[in-house]
Structure 1
Amino acid sequence: MTKSNEPAIDIGLDDAAREKAAGILSVALADTFTAYLKIHNYHWNVTGPQFRQLHTAFEEQYTEMHDSIDEIAERIRALGHKAPGSLTAFSKLTTISEAAENATSDEMVRDVLSTHETLTRVLRKSEGELGELGDTASADMLVGRIAASEKAAWMLRAMLA
């Protein structure tokens, strides 16, 4: 989808593959941003006996996700497509639910755990689809995102044990 004054993109993926990859990555971007926002919300609003531990854990998680949001968006741009960047666009694309209002600290942990597990499943499927398209760079990027969400989920499960 290059403009007439931009050079054609010749990276070994045809227009259809790049468009499909950008669509897959747009969902990954929306999911990652929605998870980031949820975790940041819980970081701000957590209370109770585990406040310090959860406040810190949530901050570590949303901080790690922050840089990945930019990485995913820039990959979409490298494929020659516009990255979604509005709450409206993200809400149409995401598979992640918003933060629960008035959640207890235990409910927050369970919700963030479920969010990371959902994110892992969606990203794993997307990674496979990108691999089938031959977009190894995008697939590889999602492998790192999968590992990060799996690690975060493991740590949250340990808190609930």
Structure 2
Amino acid sequence: MTTTLDAKQTELVRALNRNQANTLVAYLNYKKYHWMTYGPLFRDLHLLFEEHGNDVFAMLDELAERSLMIDGTPIADPNDYLTVATVNASSGKLSVKQMVEEAIATHELIIDEMHKDTEAADGAGDIGTADLYTRLVQTHQKHRWFLKEILKKGDGLLL
């Protein structure tokens, strides 16, 4: 038996796929930062990037499985992730400050999109997807907060 998605469901699945792709790209960016960090805050940033990356990675299954729960299809082919994602894959050699700024920008994009996606899910009467976004956005907000605190001056350490 084949299930046909209506227009609202199709848009919800498209948004879930984008969020799934963004999540994988954000995770891979965090792995880069984790491996490539250096300097006087090395240990703290190395561990922070690992922790944030693990938190983000844990979101992947939830997003993919939510697509399945609403009769959609998650992204499964690795080649499709970069074409669907709106988060940019990190590239090139970055300073630690640039890594932190790039991670903040990633979270800001994801937060903005998840706010819009939550409204769309609410409008479609899909409280399950809206709840998922509401919960996940809180993690992104917390990560953004931690990263923004790193860039504040006053401790004598410069990034």
TM-score by length of 1: 0.88
Unaligned runs of 5+ in 2: 153-159
Question: Which letter does structure 2 place at the counterpart of 1:139?
Answer: A
Residue 156 of structure 1 is matched in structure 2 by 147
Counterpart mapping for 1:121-140 below 5 A: 121-140=112-131
Residue 70 of structure 2 is matched in structure 1 by 79
Residue 93 of structure 2 is matched in structure 1 by 102
Residue 69 of structure 1 is matched in structure 2 by 60
Residue 141 of structure 1 is matched in structure 2 by 132
Query: For each residue in 1:24-80, what CA deviation from the matched residue of structure 2 results, as whole angstroms up to 9, or x when unmatched?
Result: 111111111111111111111111221111111111101111111100000101111
Residue 57 of structure 1 is matched in structure 2 by 48
TM-score by length of 2: 0.89
Question: Which letter does structure 2 place at the counterpart of 1:137?
Answer: G
Counterpart mapping for 1:108-123 below 5 A: 108-123=99-114
Deviates more, 1:82-91 or 1:107-116: 82-91
Counterpart mapping for 1:8-23 below 5 A: 15-23=6-14
Question: Which letter does structure 1 place at the counterpart of 2:149?
Answer: A
After the TM superposition, which segments of 4 or more aligned residues of structure 1 sit over 3 Å from their partners?
none
Query: For each residue in 1:86-120, what CA deviation from the matched residue of structure 2 results, as whole angstroms up to 9, or x when unmatched?
Result: 33211111111111311011111111111111111
Distance (whole Å) between structure 1 residues aligned to residue 23 and residue 123 of structure 2 = 22
Q: Which of 17, 40, 44 is residue 26 of structure 1 equivalent to?
A: 17
Change (3 A) 1:86 1:50: farther
Q: Are the equivalent residues in 2 in contact too, given 1:73–1:83 (CA < 8 A)?
A: yes
Aligned length: 152
Q: Are the equivalent residues in 2 in contact too, given 1:39–1:58 (CA < 8 A)?
A: yes
RMSD of aligned Cα (Å): 1.6
